[in-house]
Homo-oligomer: A and B are copies of this chain.
Amino acid sequence: MGKISVEALQNMILQDIDILTRTDDISVSHALGRCLAQDVYAPINVPVFTRSAVDGYAIQSRDTQLGSSDRPIRLDIVEKVRTGMVPKRQVREGEAALVTTGAMLPPGADAVALVERVSVQGDTVVLTEPVRAGENLSLLGEDIGESELVLAKGQIIRLVDVAVLSSLGIDHIPVLTRPKVAIFSSGDELVTPGNVLGPAQVYDSNAYLLEAAVKECGGEPLRLGTIGDSFREVDSLLYETAKTHRFELIVTTGGTGASLLVLEGKDIENIHDLIPGSIAKNGQLKSHGLLMTPGKPTAYGEIAGVPVFALAGWPYSTLMTFQLFVRPAIRKMAGLPPFQDPKEVPARLSRPLNTEKGIRKYFQVRLHREAHEIWAEPLLPPPPPSAARTMHQMLQGTGYFFLDGINQLHADEGEWIRVTVDDPRWP
């Protein structure tokens, strides 16, 4: 199977992946950032009754039309209505009711005179100017009308939407479910962190990484443990997991690269790679091999209709290919816009770098300031004969950039590049 470009695999995935139809009914207070699954219509008017917009006196406006300093109007204060109270009586001709901001307008009244514009003498309020009908009122349904469309299906719930839904008395809404993501790590040698390491064993660094990354972008991860390096075990676990249809996605790490697997006691039928081979056998392998590094052996396909992402096992490969391929899939399924990219910073490269023609190559860099300029120092693996040193680079890195292998095969020392910063400590 030929290697394909990053964009080609991204497009293939986004064409395959559908937005989910399953919904969760959740509290509005937990709905921030979720995708609304149904149109929401206002169940009530807002305001739900005509209320005073100010502290003042509810009156019949026609009583005041001839009011002036020379001919003050005197109205009897018949009631005091505060917010939350139901007025006990009507405001009739010649009468007024004290109302606080937000209080229900008493029946009979059609306007409110601002408290600062009147004077009070005992049980009488004195007005020296006309008040127009409707003045200082918030009318029934003026803000949102009953059965008005408030939020449309597909809307990502914002803080302001939480406030609007609350003001309508809505406490639960249907949102698209979070895509359930099954996570497997492949490798006989792997031990889950927190357990004791046996001889020749290493800790699985990818399962927790994927769990955190899936949650961050809006999915619901479930770590299903490690898979041994055997076709029988891989086949069985992947197929059984897919078949349950309890997961919208399966993500594996490791077991993607061309490896020997020719050892005694292993039921290997061919030199095929472990996970991609199992996808091909139990479903459809759609892509294996990327024109990118790290992540060259990344594979993608489906088993029982469930998309399977087989990521390479080096932690930085896992992280970068998750961000490039799995994250957009999760976001699309959940009805969410693309994940907000970390900020980009222009910087000068401190040493020349190259990629092969056609290969998009990612480089981790450490940024530092020098004489009012920002410099990016590539964090390269030590040259052969030594190898690895990946965790160290991940700890030191401020971000990354890439040479696309098409327009850019080379970057010079001192050249300006755009670094994607993934360290919140910078700057």
Question: B-contacting residues of A (Cβ < 8 Å)?
Answer: 27-32, 44, 46-49, 53-55, 80, 82-86, 98, 100-104, 111, 115, 132, 134-139, 142-144, 150-151, 155-156, 158-172, 187-195, 197, 199-209, 211-213, 215-216, 223, 229, 257, 259-264, 266, 315-316, 318-319, 337, 384-392, 394-395, 397, 422-425
- Give this chain's copy count: 2
Q: Is the CB of B319 within 8 A of A388?
A: no
CA A161 to CA B423, docked complex, whole Å: 10
Cβ 8 A contact of A86, one of B84, B191, B200: B200
- A53-B388, A188-B83, A212-B159 in contact; A193/B206 too (CB < 8 A)? no
CA A216 to CA B158, docked complex, whole Å: 11
- A164-B205, A259-B55, A386-B139 in contact; A169/B156 too (CB < 8 A)? no
Chain B residues contacting A315 (CB-CB under 8 Å) are: 160, 163-164, 167
A65 to chain B minimum Cβ distance, whole angstroms, is: 14
CA A369 to CA B192, docked complex, whole Å: 52
- A166-B207, A171-B193, A425-B156 in contact; A134/B100 too (CB < 8 A)? no
A234 to chain B minimum Cβ distance, whole angstroms, is: 15
- For the complex of A and B, the 9 pairs showing the least CB-CB separation, nearest first, are A53-B387, A84-B189, A171-B194, A135-B385, A84-B188, A167-B205, A160-B394, A138-B388, A171-B193
Q: Is the CB of B199 within 8 A of A29?
A: no
CA A389 to CA B209, docked complex, whole Å: 46
Chain B residues contacting A390 (CB-CB under 8 Å) are: 143
Q: Is the CB of A163 within 8 A of B201?
A: no
Q: List 18 A-B contacts (CB under 8 A).
A: A27-B208, A29-B223, A48-B197, A49-B200, A53-B387, A80-B264, A82-B188, A82-B266, A86-B199, A98-B263, A102-B202, A104-B200, A134-B385, A137-B385, A137-B387, A142-B389, A160-B394, A164-B395
Q: Is the CB of A394 within 8 A of B136?
A: no
Extra 18 A-B pairs, beta carbons < 8 Å, given A29-B211, A171-B194: A27-B208, A28-B212, A29-B208, A54-B387, A83-B187, A98-B263, A100-B260, A103-B200, A143-B392, A160-B316, A160-B397, A160-B422, A163-B209, A163-B391, A166-B209, A167-B315, A170-B194, A171-B208
